[in-house]
A and B are shown apart, each in its own frame.
Chain A
Amino acid sequence: MNKPSAVETKTRVIKKSKIDYSQGPPPVSINAAWCKACNICISLCPQNVLAADIEGKPVVAQEENCIQCGACWTHCPDFAIKSNYK
């Protein structure tokens, strides 16, 4: 049988990101363990970078649009967003 092993199946699922992180951190990242799904970051982002998942927590949907304005992480009350301030 030529069924792929579990490891192979997993590696196939991972999509290659459009952004090259070799020279720096991602523009915005979320710590889902501390996030309480208050929706502030999603509604204040001027570029619609973030979108809500099924629990209402943000996921980074359009990373390439992020302008690192700082609106999301300066308004996050739970210290859950890592980003920059330009």
Chain B
Amino acid sequence: MSIAAKEAGARQESDVVLRYLRPHVKFPNMWCPGCGNGVVATSLIRAIDKLGLDRDNVVLVSGIGCSSRMPVYLDFQALHTTHGRALAFATGVKFSRPDLKVIVITGDGDSLSIGGNHLIHACRRNIDITTILINNYIYGMTGGQISPTTPPGAHATTTPYGSAEKPFEACDLAKGAGATFIARTTVYHTTQMDRLMMEAIQHKGFSLVEVISNCHTYYGRLNRLGQATALLRMFQEKASVQDKGTNMVDDRTKDMIPTGIIHRDSEKTELCDEYQKLIDSLAKGKPA
């Protein structure tokens, strides 16, 4: 008897992905063969499906970039905005409809360079938004320029002799700015990614999940790292899974990628709650 036959009549797990794709959009998608964005999309679908959220109450907000094409393919409420401003629009959506689950899909250039200010202020306000930051170390859509996260010495079309700049650490930046749930994972670790996304969506407050992704078309090719499979193997070797629930050992000095939950704070109050309290107290006639 086959393995499948043991599960007589059972539907396949992967069918869930097809259920959440937009029916009228042309597939295959526009991403390069092997691009990590598709892996993040399937993981997000599984996380939302496992949480049992109603798809009409989930809003995906994105800016401009390769990763920001994701709401075009996934069948949720979508808001495709201007470059870097996804978090600004998302703040507006969440403020006017606090009952919706707002998820921002953004890239490293979109959120840390063009939209850097929006990111730190969303972190500071601790508004209940989940941000999925797909970090591929380079600007992919515009042709491989260096981004704020490109490691020192890495080659890009604008740095043919290697980058002399120091990169941003998105998770440390968010922690300093006041975000209350911060986690990092890679596209190789899909099971961990599912779990972190579920926790981030459930968290009340600003949550950031940084997903280290592969851009073999520019980053891999210009730095001679090979194809998508070679980059996935590199993430497998370099990632140190040290999920201890909260603050973990920093071993970036050894050129490793620490993954897991980096910071979690459930004490801090959330912006929409505070605002509602203010409204209630004013309605009673006395300011808080």
By a beta-carbon cutoff of 8 Å, the part of chain A in contact with chain B is 19-27, 33-40, 43-44, 64, 66-68, 70, 73-85
Closest residue on chain B to residue A37 by CB atoms: B33
Is B253 in contact with chain A by the CB < 8 A criterion? no
Complex formed: what's the CA distance from A6 to B7 in Å? Answer: 38
**Chain B min CB distance to A19 (Å):** 4
Whether the Cβ atoms of A74 and B2 lie closer than 8 Å is: no
Tally inter-chain residue pairs, CB-CB below 8 A: 117
Complex formed: what's the CA distance from A73 to B39 in Å? Answer: 9
Closest residue on chain A to residue B16 by CB atoms: A85
Whether the Cβ atoms of A82 and B228 lie closer than 8 Å is: no
Complex formed: what's the CA distance from A38 to B226 in Å? Answer: 12
* Residues of chain A with a CB closer than 8 A to B3's CB: 27, 66-68
* Residues of chain A with a CB closer than 8 A to B6's CB: 24
**Chain A min CB distance to B107 (Å):** 15
* Residues of chain B with a CB closer than 8 A to A85's CB: 13-14
A74 partner, pick from B5, B18, B28, B43, beta carbons under 8 A: B43
Q: With A20-B1, A40-B34 in contact, do A78 and B29 touch (Cβ < 8 Å)?
A: yes
Complex formed: what's the CA distance from A43 to B32 in Å? Answer: 18
Complex formed: what's the CA distance from A35 to B190 in Å? Answer: 19
* Residues of chain B with a CB closer than 8 A to A44's CB: 229, 232
Whether the Cβ atoms of A75 and B232 lie closer than 8 Å is: yes
Whether the Cβ atoms of A39 and B1 lie closer than 8 Å is: no
**Chain B min CB distance to A71 (Å):** 8
Contact with A along B175-195 (1 / 0, CB 8 A): 000000000000110110000
Is B52 in contact with chain A by the CB < 8 A criterion? no
* Residues of chain A with a CB closer than 8 A to B35's CB: 77
* Residues of chain A with a CB closer than 8 A to B12's CB: 25, 82-84
Complex formed: what's the CA distance from A84 to B7 in Å? Answer: 10
Whether the Cβ atoms of B4 and A76 lie closer than 8 Å is: no
